[in-house]
Amino acid sequence: METLTAEIMTEKNPILKTIYERRAVRSYLDKPVSREVIEQLLDAGRMAPSAVNKQPWKFYVLTKKETVKQFSDEIGKVAAKHFHLSIVSGILKATDAVFHGAPAVIFITAPKDNEWASLDVGMCSQNIMLAAKSLGLDTCPIGMVKFVEDAPGFSKLNIPHSENVLLAIIVGYSKDKPSVHSRNKKNVSYID
């Protein structure tokens, strides 16, 4: 019954349809994402709410295949030093364990001294991912990207020391369609 209700709701509402269809995708076609489309995604991110309207986010975008691969490899090696051996072996064996062959990577930073930045960047990121889905692209948020600050090539990003890399979003055209994971519906307490 719940699935039927969701299907009816999403057919009548394109925003809900986009929310229900968005997935974290880790397999991409070798097809570039145009700068114009990336700008549309960033504009959607910029429309997110932020504490005191500070709009703390900054974007650093990679679209050159060789550069994306270089950063993926470097981040994977740094991250491997921080994880359990079973996870490390998967990271080191994968050909592109961090960015999964995506044609575009959007690093999102915020000032280190902004205590609300993580929440703001989260909302901004969700806008970007939903906008991408609505335009026929797929995405995946990459939290492991925080290790980029210790990567040998970090200086190439020209990110000031006053900013933290909070998240990256990989963007591209999916090779496959991941299935929906079940959702916990026993996490609500109505007080009144």
Which domains are assigned to the chain?
Answer: 23-172 (3.40.109.10)
The confidence band for 9, taking pLDDT boundaries of 50, 70 and 90, is: low
The confidence band for 135, taking pLDDT boundaries of 50, 70 and 90, is: very high
Q: Torsions phi, psi of 186, nearest 5?
A: -110, 40
pTM: 0.90
The confidence band for 116, taking pLDDT boundaries of 50, 70 and 90, is: very high
What is the mean pLDDT of the segment spanning 84-102?
Answer: 70
SS3 (DSSP) at 51: helix
d(CA 9, CA 36): 31
Check residue 1 and give its pLDDT: 40
| Each residue's pLDDT tens digit, 22-42 | 999 999 999 999 999 999 999
What is the mean pLDDT of the segment spanning 157-180?
Answer: 94
Check residue 27 and give its pLDDT: 93
What is the mean pLDDT of the segment spanning 123-144?
Answer: 97
Check residue 178 and give its pLDDT: 83
- Among 2-6, 17-21, 27-31, the range with the most confident prediction by mean pLDDT is 27-31
| Each residue's pLDDT tens digit, 38-91 | 999 999 999 999 999 999 999 999 999 999 999 999 998 898 887 765 555 555
Is 99:142 a contact under the CB 8 Å cutoff? yes
d(CA 163, CA 109): 6
d(CA 129, CA 76): 23
Instruction: Return the structure tokens found at 10.
Output: 């999403």
SS3 (DSSP) at 164: strand
Instruction: Return the structure tokens found at 102.
Output: 């995506």
